[in-house]
Structures are given as C-alpha cells and as structure tokens.
C-alpha cells in the first residue's frame, strides 16, 4: 500500500519563504478574479456547545492544475485557555487522478499565506492609492497572524516604526520582545488610538467580535488590512472606518456572505484585489484603502503547491 506523506510544521517552515510565497499568492488572487479557480463558498459547521466552528475550504486552480482541501477549526475563545484559535490540515490531491498526494500540517501555511495576501494587497494598493513613503506600520493584535504580518509586510517595505497594540498588554509586550532583535523599530503601544493615528498602514489581526479600529482615528492617507472578524456578526472596524475607505476584498462572494464589517456597514465593495492585480480596476481618488481579507482556499492551494514542490525536490536529492 502506498504511504501518503505527512508534511510537518517544521518542514513547512523550512520550505516557505515570503520571497516565493507573495508572488504565488498574487497569482492565486489574480487567477481567482479571472475565473480560473473553482472555489465553492467554504462550509462552516457550528459547534454551538463550545462556541467553535469547523471550516472546510476546497479549491481547484485550473491554471496550476492544482487541487486541495483545507480543514480548519476556529475557536475564538481559545486564547483564554492559552490554546491557538485555529488548528488545520491541507489535503493536497493529484488533480488528474484524484489521488491524495500529501497531508500538510497547515498552521504555518495559514499564517504565512494570509500575511502574504495582505502584503500583496498592501503593495498593490499602497503603490496605486496611498503614500509611497510609508514610515509607520500599526498592528492590532499580537497572535500568530500579527507575527506573520510583521515579517511579510517588512519583506516588501522597510517601515521605520512598527506599533503593536493588544487588548492584553502582556501578550503585546511579549511579541514585541520576541521581534525586537529582528525589527529594532518595533514598540508596544498601550493606547490603540496612539498606535494607529499616525500609521500609514494598519493591520487588524484580532479575535475581537467588536470594532477595535475606529474611523475617527485614521489619518488622511492610510491603507488597512482587516484580517480578523470572519463571521457575519463579527466586527473589527466601525462603520465610519469602513465608509471612509475604498474597500477591496479577496472574494466578492465570500465577503458579502461572511464579513460582518462589510455586511453590517452596508459599504460598497470597490473591487477584488485580484482585479487590481490583473489591471482590470483603475486607481480610485480615495487615499484611504482597505483590504478585507477572509482567506481563500485558492491561497491554500497555491501555498500547498509550493510546499509539495519543495518536498518532492528534497526527496529527489536524498
């Protein structure tokens, strides 16, 4: 019987780099918006008794001929138990035969591909619409996504200052301490308004159900990546913030079905980021831009393909 390889977290950490991943995710976003990806809306199974969810995310990228399914748990109260909010695996298939090629431990893959999508959006929207001389990055949240976002965003632009805010100071300070040797300009900011009010780029990566970022704090030119709040009644941004920005999404269908920030604010979505990358959408006049990221299986397929390529190359070498 053929044994299916399990590609572990430590292997994924060795295989994935933002240098390779960001272009791969850009291509995935573009392929998706060009209609080359079969991606049903993800299936969400509620585990009401424990206030959790199980998400099934499948996609087939016709351009890459690449097929996978990610299964990911979402337990927003896990931080109180000192447990991660998500646990996940990607099942990567041979698209031509339907045979399972590998099972991939996908926590790092998810942290990195999400941050790569934000980096791709920031690069595109900052270049088109917001100031080129961005100096200050603000990160609201101090978990796994906060860490991956600092690495990914710093890989495309050298911000002089990074302000991290978290609702619990201890966790925020701990992340800053960890990242300080790599990014000396990073600081913890105990006041969220102070953290964001001079920021050129703001990334929200919290497990909050209520707005943590308010429109009245935004400066005239700013780009926001809003990464948390993936349920129709959850918010990370208030209505004012949503309405002050030109809003871009990863998927229209996903955003209008799942994002509380989009649905409850009734904001008009300007475009998918993939449409901007594909050159189908022209520059808007608004100097405030916002990328509402919900995460897509198309991104998981792209990241899993890279992981598998590296894994197979390594097997051939040894």
Ligand X SMILES: O=C([O-])C1=[NH+]CCC1
Ligand Y SMILES: NC(=O)C1=CN([C@@H]2O[C@H](COP(=O)(O)OP(=O)(O)OC[C@H]3O[C@@H](n4cnc5c(N)ncnc54)[C@H](O)[C@@H]3O)[C@@H](O)[C@H]2O)C=CC1
Closest CA to 13 of 303, 300, 317: 303
Q: Does 295 bind ligand X (CB under 6 A)?
A: yes
Window 150-179: contact mask with ligand X (x via CB under 6 A): ------------------------------
Q: Give the contacts of 49 (CB within 8 A, at least 6 positions apart).
A: none
The answer to whether 193 and 138 are in contact (CB under 8 A) is no
Tell the smallest beta-carbon distance from residue 166 to ligand Y (Å). 5
Q: Which residue is nearest to ligand X (CB)?
A: 295
Q: Please choose which of ligand Y, ligand X, none residue 120 contacts, taking the beta carbon within 5 to 8 angstroms, the exact cut-off set by kind.
A: none
Beta strands 6-7 and 100-105: pairing type?
A: parallel
CA pair distance 254, 41, nearest whole angstrom: 6
Window 48-87: contact mask with ligand X (x via CB under 6 A): ------------------------x-x-----------x-
CA pair distance 294, 300, nearest whole angstrom: 12
| Residue choice 36, 89, 171, 180 for contact with ligand Y (CB under 6 A) | 171
Residue 86 vs 310, nearer CB to ligand X:
86
| Residue choice 153, 230, 281, 306 for contact with ligand X (CB under 6 A) | 230
How many other CB atoms are found less than 10 A from the CB of residue 290? 30
Q: Please choose which of ligand X, ligand Y, none residue 13 contacts, taking the beta carbon within 5 to 8 angstroms, the exact cut-off set by kind.
A: none
3-class secondary-structure state, position 174: helix
Which chain residues interact with ligand X by CB under 6 A? 72, 74, 86, 110, 230, 294-295
């Amino acid at each position: 019987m053929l044994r299916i390889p399990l590609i572990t977290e430590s292997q994924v950490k060795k295989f994935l780099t933002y240098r390779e991943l960001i272009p791969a995710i850009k291509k995935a976003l573009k392929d998706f918006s060009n209609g080359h990806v079969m991606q049903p809306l993800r299936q969400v199974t509620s585990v009401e008794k424990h206030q959790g969810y199980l998400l099934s995310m499948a996609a087939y990228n016709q351009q890459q001929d690449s097929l996978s399914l990610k299964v990911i748990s979402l337990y927003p109260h896990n931080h109180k138990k000192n447990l991660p909010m998500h646990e996940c695996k990607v099942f990567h298939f041979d698209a031509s035969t339907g045979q399972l090629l590998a099972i991939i431990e996908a926590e790092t893959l998810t942290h990195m591909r999400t941050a790569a999508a934000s980096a791709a959006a920031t690069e595109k929207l900052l270049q088109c619409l917001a100031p080129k001389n961005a100096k200050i990055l603000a990160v609201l949240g101090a978990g796994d996504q906060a860490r991956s976002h600092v690495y990914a965003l710093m890989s495309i632009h050298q911000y002089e200052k990074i302000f991290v805010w978290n609702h619990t100071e201890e966790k925020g300070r701990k992340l800053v301490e960890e990242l300080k040797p790599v990014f000396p300009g990073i600081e913890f900011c105990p006041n969220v308004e102070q953290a964001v009010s001079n920021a050129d780029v703001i990334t929200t990566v919290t497990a909050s159900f209520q707005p943590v970022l308010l429109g009245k704090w935004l400066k005239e030119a700013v780009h926001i990546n809003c990464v948390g709040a993936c349920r129709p009644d959850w918010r990370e941004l208030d209505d004012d913030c949503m309405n002050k920005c030109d809003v871009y999404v990863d998927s229209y269908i996903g955003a209008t079905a799942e994002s509380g920030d989009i649905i409850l604010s009734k904001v008009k979505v300007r475009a998918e980021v993939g449409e901007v990358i594909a050159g189908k959408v022209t520059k808007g006049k608004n100097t405030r831009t916002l990328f509402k990221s919900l995460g897509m299986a198309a991104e998981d397929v792209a990241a899993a393909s890279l992981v598998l390529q590296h894994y197979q190359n390594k097997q051939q070498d040894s």
